[in-house]
Structure 1
Amino acid sequence: MSRSLGQVTAALAHRLGAAPGDLSGLLHDEHERWALYRRALEHPACLPDLFDAVAVEPDPSVALGIVLQVLGGLPPDERAAWTDRLGTERGRAYAARRARELGILQGASVTALLQDASVPESWSDWLQLRLAESSQEPAVLNRLVAAGRTKRIRRLASERERAIRRHSPRAEGA
């Protein structure tokens, strides 16, 4: 059975220890709901209520924000259930792309994907930035240095590439 926005927000407020009282502000103010959701995101026990909130949240941006915050902490096979809860096609497409990119970011190797030249160009700025900040793969960093979408991405990839080179066993033995 589907719960209403009022039921979901009341359950979250109760779970987070809010004093029972007038929760009507939560129903009419997306900023108050977002503050509640942000607090709830810090507590794994709130995930079932947040899952329900995504489906009944009237502000598509707030619902998308919940999903984007949750996706990285979910096993890959649970991500689609969250993205499918979003009420707009645009939101679902955006969240599905983020879920795919999290799979790339959390995968064993990104280098193999570089063999298809169109793949890196399809990566969002979000993914390129995270790869530039965290990749250990020289081929990935080289590609981002050469073809990263923004100056920031190219600079971070270059800095990371130099740092890895500086700390590699070959550099220490030379």
Structure 2
Amino acid sequence: MSRRLDDIVTELATRTVTAITNMSDEHERWAVYQTAFERGDCSDLLFDAVAAEPVPSVALSIVLQMLGTLPVLARPAWIEQLALPDNREYATRRANDIAILQSAEVTQLLVDEAVQDSWSDWLQLRLAEFSKEPDVLSRLTARGRTRRIRRYAMQRHAAVERGLF
């Protein structure tokens, strides 16, 4: 493990009052990262940890966890910290999904019949669980990619129609 990562994780552990006994164990580092996600004063160190983290899946997980909390314009810098092109590509897709999920109105995107086909299962599931837009929920009930997505959308649509959300 690099000295730089050692310093980053030590500082994160100090800030979060999290014990770590083995810096070379990615599970212990992940426990420190998880605690740091909940604090606003750790994003600078988490950003540095992405580039220094030797386990690509852990680095990707840090970025994925942070994407939803970051301003849209800050997301590309975090994605660029990832060492592997496949991980950068995956994180970029997730950032795009999050942007759709956080947009003011998803219904207007449904004008293009093909747009839903470009949505990942992750995005469809989140929309089925959290959308308050009847047209989005109707479309997912009818054409969601999985039974789970269709079921969640149907249940959410019924709740929205009853005025529960």
TM-score (norm 1): 0.87
**Cα offset for 1:41?**
1.0
Find out whether 1:124 has 2:120 as its counterpart. yes
Aligned residues between the structures: 162
1:145 aligns to what?
141
1:13 aligns to what?
13
**Cα offset for 1:17?**
3.1
- RMSD value, Cα: 1.7
Distance 1:24 1:67 in 2: 24
Aligned pair partner of 2:50 in 47, 50, 54: 54
Distance 2:7 2:61 in 1: 20
Structure exhibiting the larger radius of gyration computed from Cα positions: 1
Distance 2:44 2:161 in 1: 45
Aligned pair partner of 2:39 in 38, 43, 48: 43
1:84 aligns to what?
80
User: Deviating runs (4+, > 2 A) in structure 1?
Assistant: 16-19
**Cα offset for 1:79?**
0.9
1:93 aligns to what?
89
Aligned pair partner of 1:32 in 19, 28, 31: 28
| Percent of residue pairs bearing the same amino acid type | 55
Distance 1:121 1:32 in 2: 39
User: Is the 2:18–2:32 contact (alpha carbons within 8 Å) kept by the matching residues of 1?
Assistant: no
* Unaligned stretches of 5+ residues in structure 2: none
Moved more, 6-15 or 73-82: 6-15
